[in-house]
Amino acid sequence: MKTIGKWIGGLTIFSILIALFSMISPIILVIGGLGIWYYTKKEPNPQKMKISVVATVIGLFGCIILLGSGGSDSESSADNNANTSTAKQTEKAEVAEPETASSESVIAEVAAPEAASSESVVVEEPSIVEEPVATVPSEPVVASAPAPAAPEVSREFRNALGSANDYLNFTSFSKSGLYDQLIYEGFPEDAVQYAVDNVVTDWNANALQTAIDYLDFSSFSDQGLYDQLIYEGYSAEQAQYAIDNLPG
């Protein structure tokens, strides 16, 4: 009976924690979404951007739990009532059941023989499986010639390139915009130039994605959006490509 009471108490505490998490999950989702936008467009920061993405995922998970718990409230209530009724019936049955054991069962246990069976036990020996012997190729294996090693660059150059890739993984940049951001991060000019020259990206696609991001938050005319892309550092060809390829 104590075990059933502990189980019901633990289930109640767990349900309360899930309910509290579900209540604050919409707030976490909104804050995470605003953080993604803010640390992408207003103040680019990859580390805080990652935190905002994690918060958004947690909030979304909590909202899914909140939506799913609505349909299961009635079932949980019915299950709790059934468990309470079963616990009461079990308690009554335990009180009514006599604690004295049957005398017949005691006599049967005393009269049962304790001698082990005289039948012999046959131990089966494990069968030995012979493994096939690997064949040795008759022809010698010729190793391919090693690829020429890439030219070594300094740690500062590698870090600048890695930072450029991190920024482009979270938001879109023009080439000059990425250059200015890396300079703002404190990298020397030669390392920044190496990074923007060697980063693998499609600047036209970046311009198109930037245009789409602007239209998600505000309305622009084609000319106004073109001027905004030029202000962001995209070339005239890249800005025109974005305007011409916007989804209808």
What value does the mean pLDDT of the chain take?
74
Q: Greater confidence, 40 or 142?
A: 40
| Rounded Cα distance, 180 and 173, in Å | 10
Token couple for 238: 């890249």
Question: Which phi and psi angles does 195 have, rounded to 5°?
Answer: -65, -45
Helices (H), the chain: 2-37, 46-96, 103-111, 155-170, 175-184, 189-198, 203-217, 222-231, 236-244
pLDDT digits (tens, 9 = 90+) for 150-173: 457 899 999 999 999 999 998 999
Residue 90: pLDDT band (50, 70, 90) is: low
* pLDDT of res. 227: 96
Residue 91: pLDDT band (50, 70, 90) is: low
Q: Is the pTM above the cut of 0.75?
A: no
| Rounded Cα distance, 177 and 196, in Å | 10
73 CB-contact burial (10 Å; exposed 0-12 / middle 13-18 / buried 19+):
exposed
Is residue 132's pLDDT more than 60?
no
* pLDDT of res. 201: 95
